[in-house]
Amino acid sequence: MVGLDLDRKTYTVLITSNRKGRTQSITVSAAWLKALLLLGLVGIVVLSASLVDYVGLLLQSGENKRLKAKANYLERQFRVVESKVDTLEKSLERVNMLTKKVKIITNIDNDDLELAASIGPIPKVGQGMKNELEEREYPRVPASELHFVEDSLFVKKPLLDMDKGELHSIYGKGYSTLSIRIDKTVKLSKLREQSVLNLVNVLEEKQSLLNATPSIMPVKGWFTSRFGYRLDPFTGKPTMHTGLDIAASPGSPVFSPAAGLISYIGYEAGYGKIISIDHGNGVTTRFAHNSQVFVDLGQKVQRRDVIAAVGSTGRSSGPHLHYEVRIQGIPVDPFNYILDKN
CA angle 175, 181, 184 (to 5 degrees): 135
**Among 5, 41, 39, 40, which Cα is nearest to 25's?**
5
Backbone angles phi, psi at 17, to 5 degrees: -115, 165
H or E element at residue 207: helix 166-211
What pLDDT shows up at residue 250?
A: 95
Strand 300-301 vs strand 272-280: parallel, antiparallel, or unpaired?
unpaired
Q: Is the pTM of this model over 0.75?
A: no
What pLDDT shows up at residue 20?
A: 65
Q: What is the rounded CA–CA span in Å between residue 181 and residue 186?
A: 9
Q: By CB neighbour count within 10 A (0-12 exposed, 13-18 middle, 19+ buried), where does 218 fall?
A: buried
What pLDDT shows up at residue 154?
A: 39
Backbone angles phi, psi at 295, to 5 degrees: -125, 165
Which residues of the chain have a pLDDT value below 50? 2, 4, 6, 109-170
Paired with 327 in beta bridges are: 283, 330
All domains of the chain, ordered by start, with CATH?
2-57 (no CATH), 77-211 (no CATH), 222-337 (2.70.70.10)
Q: What is the rounded CA–CA span in Å between residue 323 and residue 105?
A: 30
DSSP code string of 26-61? EEEEHHHHHHHHHHHHHHHHHHHHHHHHHHHHHHHH
Residue 173: strand, helix, or coil: helix
What pLDDT shows up at residue 267?
A: 95
Q: What are the DSSP E strand ranges found in the chain? A: 2-5, 10-16, 23-29, 222-225, 228-231, 238-241, 244-247, 253-255, 260-268, 272-280, 283-293, 300-301, 306-310, 320-327, 330-332
Cβ-contact 337, 214 below 8 angstroms: yes
Q: What is the rounded CA–CA span in Å between residue 313 and residue 62?
A: 103
Q: pLDDT, tens digit, for every residue of 122-177?
A: 344 444 444 444 444 444 444 444 444 334 433 444 444 444 444 444 455 566 67
